[in-house]
Amino acid sequence: MLAFPLHMASATETAKGDLETKVYEVSFLTPAKGGEEGALATLERVKTAVSSMEGTFIAEGTPKQMPFASEVSRSASGKRERHNEGFFGWVKFEFTPDNAPALEVFLKKDVDILRFILISTVRDSGPAPRFLSSDRLEGETIRKREVVEKGSAGPVSEEELDKSIEQLVGDKA
């Protein structure tokens, strides 16, 4: 069940009394036993349900087979089904908030949907732009560290080595 109110008449009604549309996304998991054809059929059923509620499609993701992070179980036909892999699909669409509860009921009743989430989201044209910004190096050039050649100091006597060790140990103690 959704935890937020799906319809607030004062906020979503226009001057004509018509409801404004909102953008929603439904993501779902289907069992692997139906194969890719079964997952595509489930996607088509979800799209048909949305279009029957006068929804407008924005984007969709073809169901992709993947292992689940944890076991998904459900009770079906009097016994427990356990699934470790399946298909993940999603559809983004726009329709009135009054239709969301009916779509949720449809998704709960579909026997080929293991889990689903219906969320209110925003319309976007793609992934967020990726750019890196850092003010730490702004205006500066990166300089390479000076490399000290090993072995150029020559042999070290035991007395010099003991003196260096005493200085290091004496600083910490």
Assign residue 97 the CATH number of its domain. 3.30.70.60
Q: Is the pLDDT of residue 101 over 90?
A: yes
Does residue 22 lie within any of the structural domains? yes
Does residue 154 lie within any of the structural domains? no
pTM for the whole thing? 0.60
Label residue 90 by pLDDT band (50, 70, 90).
very high
Query: How many structural domains is the chain composed of?
Result: 1
Does residue 126 lie within any of the structural domains? no
Does residue 79 lie within any of the structural domains? yes
Does residue 144 lie within any of the structural domains? no
Does residue 139 lie within any of the structural domains? no
State mean pLDDT over 115-128. Answer: 79
- What is the gyration radius of the CA atoms in the chain, in angstroms? 31
Does residue 72 lie within any of the structural domains? yes
Enter the tokens of residue 64: 């992709």
Does residue 82 lie within any of the structural domains? yes
Angle at 95 between CA 113 and CA 103, to 5 degrees: 30
Work out the end-to-end distance of the chain between its first and last CA atoms, rounded to an integer number of angstroms: 64
Residue 23 structural domain: 18-121
Distance from C-alpha of 86 to C-alpha of 72, rounded to nearest angstrom: 10
Per DSSP (E only), the strands in 17-152 are: 22-31, 56-76, 79-95, 115-121
The least confident of 11-20, 22-31, 51-60, 152-161 is 11-20
